[in-house]
A and B are shown apart, each in its own frame.
Chain A
Amino acid sequence: ILNVEQSPQSLHVQEGDSTNFTCSFPSSNFYALHWYRWETAKSPEALFVMTLNGDEKKKGRISATLNTKEGYSYLYIKGSQPEDSATYLCAGNAGNMLTFGGGTRLMVKP
């Protein structure tokens, strides 16, 4: 089981601000890193699945990078909007199981 940690636990930003948060994981035995977005009263939905060191993925205003050698991934949101308010979960895969971090709760004020 991987030890996956996310920081910060929560974040308040103003509409229009850009923000980023971190997911860290052990760099050994790494297979894949997932990011999920979880809105209140809904189910988590996948944002990105990344496997390669240096991988960078983008979906609209949201992007993510992966550094497997040092064991971290960053999620960036450019020009935050109130609809970006959600909990962002990362999960590491070192074999058959995904291990989730505790999540970063983002609140975007209008």
Chain B
Amino acid sequence: DADVTQTPRNRITKTGKRIMLECSQTKGHDRMYWYRQDPGLGLRLIYYSFDVKDINKGEISDGYSVSRQAQAKFSLSLESAIPNQTALYFCATSDWNGELFFGEGSRLTVL
């Protein structure tokens, strides 16, 4: 089983719908992250959390929100999805040295 698990792996939705992507980890790391990947743009940070009571905006947080329900769980929400949020989303964890461990990715299509 993967150490960092994302659900759903694929989702097609319509403009205006609320979507939640979930991430859980068994690595015991305090730090968790949400990234999105668009072709040619690399990975861009949406939100990150260094512990359960800590939430921080990344480069591109507008239109997104997160919840850190427990050390092992970090969910990403799109309150009202729009087509330019179509992307591949990665959850990741790290320990103190910052090396990232990624989930399998969640491909979201907003029609």
A residues touching B (Cβ–Cβ < 8 Å)? 1, 9, 32, 34, 36, 42-46, 49, 89, 91, 93, 96-103
Establish whether residues B99 and A34, one from each chain, have CB atoms under 8 Å apart when the complex forms: yes
If A34-B99, A49-B97 are given as contacts, then 16 extra A-B residue pairs at C-beta distance below 8 Å, sorted by A number, are A32-B97, A42-B104, A43-B103, A44-B43, A44-B90, A44-B102, A46-B99, A46-B100, A49-B98, A97-B59, A98-B98, A99-B45, A100-B43, A100-B44, A101-B42, A102-B40
Report the tally of A-B residue pairs with Cβ distances under 8 A: 51
Q: Is the CB of B99 within 8 A of A97?
A: no
- Flag if A43 contacts B45 (CB, 8 Å): no
Q: List chain B residues, Cβ under 8 A from A43.
A: 4, 90, 102-105
Against A, the Cβ 8 Å flags (1 = close, 0 = not) of B39-60 are 0111111001010000010110
B100 and A44: CB pair below 8 A?
Answer: yes
Q: Which 3 A-B pairs have the closest CB atoms?
A: A43-B102, A100-B42, A100-B43
Asked if A1 and B42 sit within 8 Å, CB to CB, the answer is no
B44 to chain A, nearest CB (A): 7
Given A43-B104, A93-B98, are A102 and B41 neighbors across the interface (CB < 8 Å)?
yes
Chain B contact residue count (CB 8 A cutoff): 23
A36 neighbours in B (Cβ, 8 Å) = 100
B55-76 vs A, CB cutoff 8 Å, 1 = contact: the mask equals: 0101100000000000000000
CB distance from A41 to the nearest CB of B (A): 9
Chain B residues with Cβ below 8 Å from A9 are: 40
The A-contacting residues of B in range 3-54, CB under 8 angstroms, are 4, 35, 40-45, 48, 50
A87 vs chain B, min Cβ distance (A)? 9
A32 lies within 8 A of B42 (CB): no
Which listed residue (B35, B43, B102) contacts A45, Cβ 8 A? B102
